[in-house]
Amino acid sequence: MAFLQAAAKRANSFTGKPSRLPYLLLLPGLAFLSIFFILPILNLAATSTQSPAASGEIGSYVQTFQFSNYVNAFLESREQFARSFIYATLATLLALAISYPLAYAIAFKSGRWKNLLVVLVVAPFFTSFLLRTIAWKQILGENGPVVGPLRALHLIGPQTTLTASAFAVVTGMTYNFLPFMTLPLYASLDRIDPRTLEAAGDLYANGFTTFRKVTFPLSLPGVVAGTLLTFIPAAGDYVNAAILGNPSTKMVGNVIDSRFFRIVDYPTAAALSFMLMAAILILITVYIRRSGTEELI
């Protein structure tokens, strides 16, 4: 809030009296967040410590501050938790490996095609997320263009299938979140003044050293933003696992989904949601600290 006070103070120096304008401008946003974010979160927190009502009616719970819900929920789904983070990490790393060269080429080598290429990166967003995910089922399926050649090259056995596997889930997530990685990377690479790269060459750095010492460090904000924008939704994702996976590739998102909507076990679902949120928050805090880019975010 320091910036608000500073803004208010600055307004003071012009008018001579305290200005309420910055606070008034903030009001609609605050109201929206209170009603649609803070209240639901509190409600979720309350739900997470409830236990079944004495009546035994399905879906009816009362508040008993039963914190053991958290322990039980974790013990029951730790496998899915671990899988969520492993899959999300893999998808993030793959997306980074694919996006960095892509973003680099668009930013530095594409000339007049630059804007068109950026549009192409975003273009998949014009079709539905679900549809794109289902399409991967076809692509990786028995009659798709991937399995045949891989079998012909003996890279996979004749009986091996690619659908309904961890591979398909990670592939789907990588694909679906690719633009979230590419756009921030492109934005930070595009912002680099080409003259700083020329200066590095002028100061005895060859192409690779220039990349290592100048280009990459200057693109770090994009790397951090891209990995966060990919990792956070990927860790909570359940659509890819549901459509492209099998029962043994279930992620925590799938567990929450079934607890909420199929078993109507609200307290467990709420406890799982909170744990997922906490785990992601802790991970990204450590990550941002380690990457030394606090000031850049």
Partner 1 sequence: MADASTSSRGDLKLTRITKSYSDFNAVDDLSLTIKEGSFFALLGPSGCGKTTTLRMIAGLEEPTAGSIHIGTTDITTMKPYQRPVNTVFQNYALFPHLSIYENIAFGLRRRGIKDVKSAVDKALDLVELPHLADRKPNQLSGGQQQRIALARAIINRPALLLLDEPLGALDLKLRRQMQIELKWIQKEVGLTFVHVTHDQEEAMTMADTVALMHDGKIEQMGSPADLYDNPKSVFVANFLGQSNLIDGKIVDSDGDNFVVDLFGQKVSVLKSRSSAKDASVLFGIRPEKLRIQPSDADKPGNVLTGGRIVDVSYIGVSTQYQVEMPWGQEIMVFEQNDDGIPPLAKGDGVRLSWEPIFSFALDGHEDATAGSEVEVSE
- Considering the complex, state which of residue 44 and residue 218 has its C-beta at the smaller distance from partner 1: 218
- Judge whether 200 and 147 are in contact, CB under 8 Å: no
Segment interacting with partner 1, rule: CB under 8 A, options 104-112, 152-160, 195-203, 230-238: 195-203
Whether 205 contacts 213, CB under 8 Å: yes
Please state the closest distance from residue 233 (CB atom) to partner 1, in A: 29
For partner 1, the binding residue among 43, 68, 115, 206 (CB under 8 A) is 206
Whole-angstrom distance, CA of residue 171 vs CA of residue 141: 13
- Nearest distance from C-beta of residue 180 to partner 1, angstroms: 24
Spatial distance between the Cα atoms of 64 and 99, rounded to a whole number of angstroms: 48
Q: How far is the CB of 197 from partner 1 (least distance, A)?
A: 9
- CB neighbour class for 137 (10 Å; exposed up to 12, middle 13-18, buried from 19): middle
* Contact residue for partner 1 among 94, 107, 189, 200 (CB under 8 A): 200
> Half-sphere exposure (CA, 13 Å, Cβ side) for 93?
7
Supply the minimum distance, in Å, between the C-beta of residue 223 and partner 1.
13
- Residue 116, token pair as written in the block: 């068109």
Q: Does 117 bind partner 1 (CB under 8 A)?
A: no
At its nearest, how many Å lie between partner 1 and the CB of residue 219? 10
Q: Which stretch binds partner 1 (CB under 8 A): 42-50, 66-74, 143-151, 192-200?
A: 192-200
CB 214 within 8 A of CB 128: no
- The CA distance from 280 to 156, in Å, is 35
Query: At 52, phi and psi to the nearest 5?
Result: -55, 145
Nearest to partner 1 of 210, 230 (CB atom): 210
- Which is closer to partner 1, CB of 20 or CB of 213? 213
Asked if 294 interacts with partner 1 (CB under 8 A), we say: no
263 binds partner 1 (CB under 8 A): no
What are the φ and ψ backbone dihedral angles of 102, each rounded to 5 degrees?
-60, -50
Give the tokens for residue 89: 């990490």
Interface segment toward partner 1; rule CB under 8 A; list 3-11, 198-206, 236-244, 275-283: 198-206
Q: Which residues in this chain contact partner 1 in the complex, by CB under 8 A?
A: 193, 195-196, 198-206, 209, 213-214, 217-218, 220
